[in-house]
Amino acid sequence: MTEKLEEKSWIDFAKGDADVWREFIDLEIPRLYGLFMDRWPNRSLAEELLQKTVFDAVRGRSSYDPSKGSPEKWIHGIARNNIRLQIRRRASRPSINGDISQYLEAIDTKPLPDEVLEREEMTKVVRSALSRLESKEKAVLEAKYIDELSANDIARQMNTTDKAVYSLLYRAKLSLRRELERIASLSKKEEK
C-alpha cells in the first residue's frame, strides 16, 4: 500500500505545520522524482523539476484547499504543470543536431542541452570515458557527483586530507574532459 498523509493532517498541512510538511515532502520526493524520470531519463533535470515543484508548493501553500482533495493530489497537479512548462520550453528551443561530439568539445564553455544528455549513447560515452581513468580519479568523481559527498566526507572515506581530495578532484576532472574529447573526436572521424 502506498503511504499517504493521514486525512486528519490535511488541515495542519494547509496551515503550514512544519512536522506535517516534513513528513509529506519526505513521502513525496521519491514519487515525484519517479514521475519526472519516467518522462525524461535525466537525473539532473528530474532533481531540478523536483526542487521547483516542492518550492512552488511551499510558496503556493495558501492555494491548497483540504475540502477539494489530498495534498498528494494537489502537489501532483503542480508537478504535471511543471512538466507542461518544460515541454513548452523544449519546443521553443532549436532542435539538436545528430552529432554529440560538438557538445562534448564545448563542455567547459556551454551548458549541455538536456536533449543531448538524454540520448542513450551519452551514458555509454560517459561510462567508457570513466573506465579509462585511474581508479582513484574515478572513485573521487563518483563520490563527488553521484553520491554527492562533501570533500570532507570523501577525505574520510579515502583516508586522506581535504586538500588532497581537492587536488585529486581537479586532476580527475581534467582527465575526464580529455577522455570525453578523445571519444568525441573519434566519433567524428568515424563519421567521415
Partner 1 sequence: MKRENDNLFSDESAQQLDKNLSRLLKLTGKSDKPSRTFTKSLINDALNELKQLDVEKAETKNVIILPNWLEKAVGWAAMVAVACGAGFVVIISFFLKVNLLLEVIVVLTIVFNWISSLGGRV
DSSP category for residue 68:
G
CA-to-CA dists, residue 96 to 91, 115, 180, angstroms: 11, 7, 19
Q: Which stretch binds partner 1 (CB under 8 A): 25-33, 72-80, 83-91, 157-165?
A: 25-33
Identity of the residue, 52 or 70, whose beta carbon is nearer to partner 1 in the bound complex: 52
Identity of the residue, 119 or 164, whose beta carbon is nearer to partner 1 in the bound complex: 119
Cell numbers for 81, please give them. 504543470
Burial class (CB in 10 A: 0-12, 13-18, 19+), 83: middle
Q: Which stretch binds partner 1 (CB under 8 A): 70-78, 83-91, 147-155, 156-164?
A: 147-155
181 binding partner 1? (CB under 8 A): yes
Q: Which residue is listed with cell 501532483?
A: 76
**Whole-number Å distance between alpha carbons of 189 and 99:** 12
Q: Which stretch binds partner 1 (CB under 8 A): 67-75, 90-98, 124-132, 156-164?
A: 124-132
14 binding partner 1? (CB under 8 A): no
Q: Which stretch binds partner 1 (CB under 8 A): 15-23, 75-83, 86-94, 156-164?
A: 15-23
Taking CB under 8 A as the criterion, the residue among 14, 35, 49, 54 binding partner 1 is 54
Taking CB under 8 A as the criterion, the residue among 107, 139, 158, 164 binding partner 1 is 107
**Whole-number Å distance between alpha carbons of 74 and 65:** 9
**Whole-number Å distance between alpha carbons of 187 and 114:** 20
Q: What amino acid is encoded at 147 in this protein?
A: D
Q: DSSP H helical segments within 17-161, as ranges?
A: 18-39, 43-59, 71-92, 101-105, 114-117, 120-131, 135-141, 151-158
Identity of the residue, 52 or 158, whose beta carbon is nearer to partner 1 in the bound complex: 52
Provide the binding-site residues for partner 1, judged by CB under 8 A: 16, 18, 21-22, 25-26, 29-30, 33-34, 37, 41-44, 46-47, 50-51, 54-55, 58-59, 61, 105, 107-112, 117, 122-123, 126-127, 130, 141-142, 145-149, 173-174, 176-178, 180-181
